[in-house]
Chains A and B, each alone.
Chain A
Amino acid sequence: MGEITHRRAGMGERDMNRKKLYPWYFASGAAVLFFLLCFLPGILGIAYSFTDWNQFSDEINFVGLGNYKRIFAGGSDYLTYIGNTVMFTVVTTAMKTVAGFALALLLTQKFIKCKNLHRMIIFSPQVMSYLVVGLVFKSMLHPTTGFLNNFLRDIGLGVLAKNWLTDLQLVFPTVMTVDTWKGMGYIMVVTIAGLMSVSPEYYEAASIDGAGFFQKLWNITIPLLKPVLVNVTVLNITYGLRVFDMIYSLTNGGPGNATAVMNTAVYKEFSKGDLAMGTTLSSVLFLFVLTILYFIIKSMENSEVEA
Chain B
Amino acid sequence: MKKTVKKAVGVLLAIVMLAGMLAGCGGSGKESGQAAEAGSGTPKSNVTLTFGSHQSGLPTSGIVHDMAREFEAETGIKIDFQISPDAQWRDLIKVKLDSGEAPDIICVDTPIDLASGTKMDRYCVELGDQEWVSRMDDSARSAVSADGKLYGITFPGAKMYFYLYNKEIFAAQGLEVPTNYEEFKVVCQKLQDAGITPIYEATTNGWHQVLPLFETGGLWLAQDPDIYNKLNNNEIDLDQIPALLTIIRQLDECAKAGYYGTDYLSNAWEGAKEAMATGRCAMTIGELGFRGDVEKDYPEFTKDKLGAFVMPWGDNQMIGVNPASNAYFINKESKHVEEAKQFFAFLARHENLQKLQDGWLDISDLCWAEITSKYSEEDQKFIDSLAKANVVQTSVNYIDSQWMDVGKDLESMYTGASTPEDVLAAIMKRRNEQAQLQKDPAWVK
- A contact set with B: CB distance below 8 Å: 52, 54-57, 142-144, 163, 165-168, 248, 252-258, 267-268, 270-274
On chain A, the residues within 8 Å of B91 by CB distance are 267-268, 271
Establish whether residues A256 and B266, one from each chain, have CB atoms under 8 Å apart when the complex forms: no
Contact residues in A for B412 (Cβ distance below 8 Å)? 254-258
Question: When the two chains form their complex, are residues A252 and B88 in contact, meaning their CB atoms are under 8 A apart?
Answer: yes
CA distance A253 to B88 in the complex (A): 11
Shortest distance from the beta carbon of B230 to any chain A beta carbon, whole Å: 23
Find A256's partner among B90, B119, B409, B439 (CB 8 Å cutoff): B409
- Residues of A near B416 (CB, < 8 A) are 168
Q: Which of B92-100, B132-140, B172-180, B293-301 contacts A (4 or more CB under 8 A)?
A: B92-100
10 of the cross-chain contacts (CB-CB < 8 Å) are: A56-B439, A166-B265, A168-B417, A255-B408, A255-B412, A256-B415, A256-B417, A256-B418, A270-B98, A271-B90
Q: Give complex CA distance A248, B84 in Å.
A: 13
B278 on the A face (CB < 8 A): no
Residues in A neighbouring B409, C-beta threshold 8 A: 256
Enumerate B38-88 residues with CB–CB distance to A below 8 Å. Answer: 87-88
* B406-423 residues at the A interface, CB under 8 angstroms: 408-409, 411-418
Give CA–CA (A248, B85) in the complex, Å: 11
Which residue in chain A gives the minimum CB-CB distance to B96?
Answer: A271
Within 8 A of A (CB), among B358-391: none
Kindly state the separation between the CA atoms of A252 and B204 in the bound complex, as whole angstroms.
9
Say yes or no: is B438 at the interface (Cβ < 8 Å to chain A). Answer: yes
CA distance A270 to B262 in the complex (A): 34
In this assembly, does B5 line the interface, its C-beta being within 8 Å of a C-beta of chain A? Answer: no
In the assembled complex, the Cα of A166 lies from the Cα of B262 at a distance in Å of 10
For the complex, what is the distance from the CA of A144 to the CA of B278, rounded to whole Å?
15
On whether the beta carbons of B411 and A256 are closer than 8 Å, the reply is yes
Q: In the complex, A55 Cα to B412 Cα: how many Å? A: 29
> How would you classify the secondary structure of chain B's contact residues: helix, strand, loop or mixed?
helix
CA A248 – CA B265 in complex, angstroms? Answer: 16
Interface of A is mostly: loop
In the assembled complex, B434 has its CB within 8 A of some CB on chain A = yes
Contacts of B206 in A (CB 8 A): 252
Cβ of A143 and Cβ of B266 under 8 Å apart? Answer: yes
A255's partner among B92, B411, B433, B434 (CB-CB below 8 A) is B411
Instruction: Tell me, yes or no, whether B437 is within 8 Å of chain A by CB.
Output: yes
Contact-residue size bin, chain B (C-beta under 8 Å from the other chain): 20 to 34
Q: Give chain B nearest CB distance to A165 CB in angstroms.
A: 6
Find chain B residues with CB under 8 A from A168 CB.
415-417
The answer to whether A143 and B417 have CB atoms under 8 Å apart is no
Per the bound structure, the CA–CA distance linking A226 and B203 in Å amounts to 47
Chain A residues within 8 Å of B415, by CB: 166-168, 255-256, 258
**Which residues of B lie under 8 Å from residue A274 when comparing CB positions?**
433, 437
B37 at the interface (CB under 8 A from A): no
Are A273 and B266 neighbours in the complex by a CB distance under 8 Å?
no
Q: Does B263 contact A (CB under 8 A)?
A: yes
- Set of chain B residues within 8 Å of A143, measured between Cβ atoms: 262-263, 266
Of all chain B residues, which has the CB nearest A52? Answer: B437
Q: Which 5 A-B pairs have the closest CB atoms?
A: A256-B412, A271-B91, A166-B265, A56-B438, A143-B263
Chain A residues near B413 (CB, 8 Å)? 256
- CA A142 to CA B266, docked complex, whole Å: 6
Measured CA separation A167–B416 after assembly (Å): 10
Nearest B residue to A141 via CB reads B266
The answer to whether A271 and B265 touch across the interface, beta carbons within 8 angstroms, is no
The residues of A that contact B417 with a CB separation of less than 8 Å are 168, 255-256, 258
Minimum distance in angstroms from B271 CB to a CB of chain A: 8
Residue of B whose beta carbon sits closest to that of A256: B412
Q: Which residue of B409, B413, B417 has the most chain A CB atoms within 10 A of its CB atom?
A: B417
